[in-house]
Amino acid sequence: MAKYFGTNGIRGTFEVLTPLLALRASQAIGDYFNGGNVLVGRDCRLTSPTLHKAVLSGLESVGCSVTDLGIVTTPTAEFMVEKLHPDGLIIITASHNPPEWNALKVIDAKGVALSKERGEGIEEAIDAGVPLSSWDKAGSTTDYETATQDHLAAILSEVDVEKIKKRRLKVVLDCANGVPALLGPKLFEALGCEVILLNSEMDGHFPGRPSEPREENIQEMLRLTLDSKADFGIAWDGDGDRIVMADSKGEFIIGDRVFALCALLKLKEAPGPVVTTVATSKAVADVAQKFGQRIDYTAVGAPYLSELASKGECAIAGEEVGGVIWPEVSLAKDGFLTAAKIAEAVCGKPLSEWLAEFPFYYNVKGKVPCEPSEIEAKMDSIPIPEDAQVVRVDGVRLNFEDSWVIFRPSGTEPLIRVFAESTNEEKAKELVEKYEKLLK
């Protein structure tokens, strides 16, 4: 069981991820990257400057040469791996977590985030301690100040800027009071859009809304999109790697429908397999099927997604919460490139018409308390219906013609989560109830 690494990096409140742990962890990470060149980026959380200093010190003390990207979005920092070819990257950000949280996300030279399995060696080194470099071999830090501009230029080269400019889209941008404020407004101004901004001041207290873009947290964006007669609205999560949206009627568009749309746009242009997590809507599989493409499922968590995407076979990869990887640019989930691609598509027809190209699924969630020692036997005891296509990557996912259900152990609590989707709301409920009963 991982001691420090969670689903994506070393994460905790300030009492857990202290400056001292950040320093020791960075020494271990610097050692893992063989004392090479390591990029460092950070978000605007209140504890980020303090952890940032500890991270720089830790890396330098084991001989790393550090390139400090300063305050950047997560996809910007990850894009810089493609551009600068370092040995690794540390991003200081807790993404969508509450303000008292922070994390060190670790990315390797290929641009793949380290999963908890791959972080095991680093954990051992944190506990054992890493030898310091000799006094005359300590590393140093160089500032790199144009990461955001570089990333912006790369995004603009991926879309038809003139076409979007001509259309004069009106958009509402909810930047979550986080680092998306650095790039989101600039991007849409460069695309010639009329921009209405929400929560666009960076503030580590996150005064406007929680940084997790759940439907209940972004009501203001939904309302403003409707009231201002905008073409669409966008809400980023706290570090900008994923988006949810509003259509012109102010209707909420959940993350996996955003991904399904991106898959549709990508496969129209360049067909290829689609990579996604086992928790993602069947709408994505429907899109893949429409283009005769395979869908490859991974365990839930961004590192698993980028690991599989790095094998170079997929056209696009994405996760249920609205993170989309466009492998032609980087192996990062990029909430800005995603936003720009959708803006380009909306020049052709309204967002709601694009979304009507694949089925709408109702989803229902349930859970069954279960002691961790009994989880495996319980899950194995469930009979598999004959008409089900089974996916056993992370829990058990059963795909049916117009519905699917998954049961998988919770990563944090003693329970099995049950989740179902169907084009028929009653059927989704029935599926959850049926499997809750079987798992009891």
**Residues identified as active-site:** 95
334 binds Mg ion (CB under 5 A): no
311 contacts: CB under 8 Å, gap ≥ 6: none
Of 31 and 237, the one with the shorter C-beta distance to Mg ion is 237
C-alpha closest to that of 245 among 348, 344, 345, 339: 339
Residue, CB closest to Mg ion: 95
Q: How many CA atoms lie within 13 A of 87 on its CB side?
A: 15
Cα torsion for 308, 306, 115, 97, to the nearest 10°? -140
Total residues binding Mg ion (CB under 5 A): 4
- Least spacing, CB of residue 244 vs Mg ion, in Å: 12
Tell me how far apart the alpha carbons of residues 24 and 30 are, in angstroms, rounded to a whole number: 10
Residues 296 and 314: beta-carbon distance below 8 Å: yes
Tell me how far apart the alpha carbons of residues 435 and 12 are, in angstroms, rounded to a whole number: 33
Cβ-based neighbour number of residue 406 at 10 Å: 22
Of 40 and 243, the one with the shorter C-beta distance to Mg ion is 243
Of 237 and 256, the one with the shorter C-beta distance to Mg ion is 237
241 binds Mg ion (CB under 5 A): yes
- Least spacing, CB of residue 125 vs Mg ion, in Å: 26
DSSP conformation letters of 81-135: HHHH--SEEEEE--TTS-TTEEEEEEEETTSPBPPTTTTHHHHHHHHH--PPPPT
CA distances (Å), origin 245, targets 51, 63, 214, 317, 322: 32, 44, 10, 19, 9
CA of residue 140 relative to chain centroid, distance: 31
Of 73 and 422, the one with the shorter C-beta distance to Mg ion is 73
421 binds Mg ion (CB under 5 A): no
| 300: phi then psi, degrees, rounded to nearest 5 | -75, 130
- Least spacing, CB of residue 75 vs Mg ion, in Å: 9
252 contacts: CB under 8 Å, gap ≥ 6: 215, 218, 222, 244, 245, 246
Among 78, 108, 174, 239, interactor with Mg ion by CB under 5 A: 239
| 7: phi then psi, degrees, rounded to nearest 5 | -55, -35
Segment contacting Mg ion by CB under 5 A, of 17-25, 187-195, 239-247, 396-404: 239-247
Among 95, 280, 281, 330, interactor with Mg ion by CB under 5 A: 95
Segment contacting Mg ion by CB under 5 A, of 93-101, 114-122, 148-156, 340-348: 93-101
- Least spacing, CB of residue 384 vs Mg ion, in Å: 35
> What is the DSSP pairing of strand 243-246 with strand 252-253?
antiparallel
- Least spacing, CB of residue 235 vs Mg ion, in Å: 12
- Least spacing, CB of residue 59 vs Mg ion, in Å: 23
Of 24 and 116, the one with the shorter C-beta distance to Mg ion is 116
Of 182 and 405, the one with the shorter C-beta distance to Mg ion is 182
DSSP 202: -
Of 52 and 397, the one with the shorter C-beta distance to Mg ion is 52
Q: For residues 199-238, which are near Mg ion according to CB under 5 A?
A: 237
432 contacts: CB under 8 Å, gap ≥ 6: 364, 365, 366, 405, 418, 419, 420
- Least spacing, CB of residue 212 vs Mg ion, in Å: 9
C-alpha closest to that of 93 among 24, 37, 45: 45
Segment contacting Mg ion by CB under 5 A, of 94-102, 207-215, 258-266, 416-424: 94-102
Given the rule CB under 5 A, which residues bind Mg ion? Answer: 95, 237, 239, 241
